[in-house]
Structure 1
Amino acid sequence: MSTTNLGGLASAQTVTEDPHLRRGSRGFPLLPGGYGRSTYYTGAPSPYAVRGDGYRVWDDRGRELIDANNNFTSLIHGNAHPEIVEAATKALSEGSSWGIPNLYEWELADLLVSRLPALDQVRFTNSGTEAVMSAIRIARAATGRDKVIVTKGGYHGTSEVALVPGGPSYTRGVPQGVIDDVTAVPLNDTDFLRQAIESAPDAYAAIILDLLPNRAGLLRITEDFVRAARELATRHGVVLIIDEVISLRLGYNGFSGAYGVEPDLLTTGKLIGGGFPVGAVVGLGDLMAEVDPTRKGSLPHGGTFSGNPVSMAAGAVALRLYGPDQVERLTRLGDTAREAANARVADAGWEIRGSGSLLRAVPRGAEKVDEQTQHELWWASYDRGLLGSPANLLSLSTPMDDTVVNDLTERLVDAVLAVAASSRS
């Protein structure tokens, strides 16, 4: 078996040239298609990560990359931050998980509600997907209704309800009854939203909003649309859920805080786990009472590793380290990078969208980017030493400074221009 030895790296590993082809005893690739997540796929066999340190990651092809993927935005402090490693290691040394509560949950919950002052209580889950699932169930239980409103292009994880706004390619395998319970509203179409709710005001349990939906090309939801959703939800007894699994990083009080809107339930995850599995529902006390086990008739909620001490300890450190000054600094770096890149890619018919520390390059005006173009840009970026998500979402991390972000911007612009030139030839 042919191998590549990465002796130049700390923690060197020897791996097969193409791990995707490794097969089990029955002849099948050990992972479907060679991938542990469908979201890793970039149109061709992907490199494998070997080591990460700060804003850098090294792969099994010997490449050193600027890590602007950051595990799909979750590593707000980059790879192997020493304080987070120390906290996680200490928690792990005391016991990775137990069948009774642990004290680490209280610290992370306290940090969350202190940053979300309109909300009262927290329930932890293992992922953002689970957080959204739990929020929807709470809303349905509290209202006695079934239907849910989402925006087209919104991404809320991989539960059946959350898959519906993705369209036919996502809803294959989802029961028709689930699809019928979901109304997908065009992004920022306030009239459509109002008509949907007012045509059946007693049917809807929840409105779910992602304020900066990546699936829609990182197009920002307008303040008018958010205000209308809040007003309609209040008037008709609908629960307003704001999904901040990704966007919590965009403001000390979350992105909803920047909008000045108060949700009834807020879902989050990613950065609040410090690089470990996590999700959370943060909500008003009367709604969160639905999952209070001391209350008769409450909703059962489990999860073997929900609120596990390692995620809680690491997450508390990550959140404390991401204070107002760091939020402001990363926002400035991202906004400066976006402005500089846009000035250089505009003539090629592209634009860099986003807000603060989140950036995404897309063909100008596109509401949806075809997969081939996404893959071409991913590989063009990779060839220039820049690692983004397969959808080309880039997220900054706190180890990055002006020099690193300027370098990142140069690599991104060069990749965009190369793809643009290729498409014209």
Structure 2
Amino acid sequence: MKIDTENATVAGSAIDPHLRKGPRGYPMLPGGYGRSTYYTGAPSPYAIRGEGCRVWDDRGQKLIDANNNFTSLIHGNVHPEIKAAAVEAMSAGSSWGIPNLYEWELAELLLNRLPGLDQVRFTNSGTEAVMSAVRIARASTGRDKVVVTKGGYHGTSDLALVPGGPGYTRGVPQGVIDDVTTVPLNDIEHLTHVVESAPTNYAAIILDLLPNRAGLVSVSEEFARTARDLATKHGIVLIIDEVISLRLGYNGLSGEYGVQPDLLTTGKLIGGGFPVGAVAGLGSLMAEVDPTRSGNLPHGGTFSGNPVSMAAGAAALRLYTEDQVNRLNDLGDSVRQTVSKSIAGLGWEVRGRGSLLRAVPEGADKVAEDIQHRLWWATYRRGLLGSPANLLSLSTPMDDKVGAEIAEGLSAAIADVATAR
């Protein structure tokens, strides 16, 4: 197969890539997909190339990229400064078995944006960051159980799958499920009752401040502050998962709330488009993974802190200034308001905050997968690429003109789905 990235075409194969077979007759990828999260109910287009806020696919479509690799590409596709940083780092070596100086630069940039946190340890993904944070919390408290909110998304580890409910926990050991207490989103009374009933059982409270799985409904500031107060009172570690929401404030969404976590997990945008995750935390907690201390928690990862991710991530963070954060959030608010007016009376609403938005049926707690897929294809036909769950994330190459295109395409797609018989 030959890919012509300039003209966005694929030569050398007339077979739908989803159906390409391996030597034993099976599709080479399960279902034809490298990630389950790509699935949109029918064979999906393949990306050929991207530039700025656009992406071209193998079907000849030129799309506004509001998927941005599931919110990771805060500066869109192939930003010249990020590309240059990655190429420079790779030209000296893509990874080594000893530390590299790029780790220090990204760590300093990140900690400067997270006042109150002292140290950072890098991982390969947000999933790994959450796994590490939970282990640190358990080791430091000597407790096993954690509290999460219903619909919170914390990656794909066994523990992180539990708040997704029965559809996600098949294959997860019952012992893991028993260690996780799920509380309804923003139910302060329930959270307080759970913690106060057995405070010495809990190692951590984990918050996803803007959970897409819960329909992109924000954790309220009052709920977050209650979690902070309960954690402080009972010696529980408060973990705030900002793998996605870090983009919403220069100091993260927790900074906008004024709620200080003990550990903060992040990823996505801090890698500049390359694999990355991070745990930032108080020095007293991060000491658990200090290899110079006796009894430390071993932590590895062959590609954790690799120079390419670190260099690209540092460039991405430097570019994502406070002015850019605010501009992008304002653009998202404007798009959300425009679409909301356009779809009034159709039984749909647009949720979210700042540069993240999602269209859902009014009042929906959970959106049926077939409806999500119908909306995905309706937006795709109008030149707009979102996530299969219809989450749209903006990137810095977008301006008011692109925002208007997004609003027009999303409004028309919602109208199509809402009025379909």
Aligned partners of 1:297, 1:388: CA distance in 2, in Å?
46
- The aligned counterpart of 1:35 is 33
Residues 366-385 of structure 1 correspond to what in structure 2 (within 5 A)? 366-385=364-383
Aligned partners of 2:8, 2:160: CA distance in 1, in Å?
39
Aligned partners of 1:371, 1:81: CA distance in 2, in Å?
33
CA contact (8 A) 1:161 1:182 kept: yes
| CA pair 301-64 structure 1, distance change in 2 beyond 3 A | same
Aligned partners of 2:101, 2:179: CA distance in 1, in Å?
39
Amino acid of the residue matched to residue 295 of structure 2?
Answer: G
| CA pair 285-21 structure 1, distance change in 2 beyond 3 A | same
Residues 21-60 of structure 1 correspond to what in structure 2 (within 5 A)? 21-60=19-58
- The aligned counterpart of 1:213 is 211
Amino acid of the residue matched to residue 135 of structure 1?
Answer: A
Amino acid of the residue matched to residue 293 of structure 1?
Answer: P
- The aligned counterpart of 1:243 is 241
Q: CA deviation at 1:346?
A: 2.4
- The aligned counterpart of 1:73 is 71
Q: CA deviation at 1:344?
A: 1.4
The alignment status of 1:298 with 2:296, answered yes or no, reads yes
Q: CA deviation at 1:9?
A: 3.5
Residues 193-212 of structure 1 correspond to what in structure 2 (within 5 A)? 193-212=191-210
Aligned partners of 2:3, 2:23: CA distance in 1, in Å?
28
The alignment status of 1:176 with 2:174, answered yes or no, reads yes
Aligned residues: 420
| CA pair 7-320 structure 1, distance change in 2 beyond 3 A | closer
CA contact (8 A) 2:146 2:204 kept: yes
Q: CA deviation at 1:10?
A: 4.2
CA contact (8 A) 1:152 1:185 kept: yes
The alignment status of 1:106 with 2:70, answered yes or no, reads no
- The aligned counterpart of 1:285 is 283
Amino acid of the residue matched to residue 347 of structure 1?
Answer: G
- The aligned counterpart of 2:333 is 335
- The aligned counterpart of 2:269 is 271
Q: For 1:117, which of 115, 118, 131 is the aligned residue?
A: 115
Q: CA deviation at 1:217?
A: 0.5
CA contact (8 A) 1:6 1:62 kept: no
CA contact (8 A) 1:126 1:278 kept: yes
Q: CA deviation at 1:118?
A: 1.0
CA contact (8 A) 2:116 2:260 kept: yes
The alignment status of 1:136 with 2:134, answered yes or no, reads yes
Aligned partners of 2:317, 2:123: CA distance in 1, in Å?
17
Q: CA deviation at 1:223?
A: 1.1
User: Percent of counterpart pairs with the same letter?
Assistant: 74
- The aligned counterpart of 1:148 is 146
Gaps of 5+ in 1: none
Output the TM-score relative to the length of structure 1: 0.97
CA contact (8 A) 1:6 1:60 kept: no
Aligned partners of 1:157, 1:18: CA distance in 2, in Å?
30
Q: Secondary structure at the match of 2:285?
A: helix
Aligned partners of 1:298, 1:10: CA distance in 2, in Å?
53
- The aligned counterpart of 2:344 is 346
Aligned partners of 2:118, 2:3: CA distance in 1, in Å?
50
Aligned partners of 2:404, 2:258: CA distance in 1, in Å?
31
Q: CA deviation at 1:11?
A: 6.6
CA contact (8 A) 2:8 2:56 kept: no
Aligned partners of 2:69, 2:218: CA distance in 1, in Å?
22
Q: Following superposition, which runs of at least 4 residues in structure 1 exceed 6 angstroms of deviation?
A: 5-8
Q: CA deviation at 1:12?
A: 4.7
CA contact (8 A) 2:5 2:48 kept: no
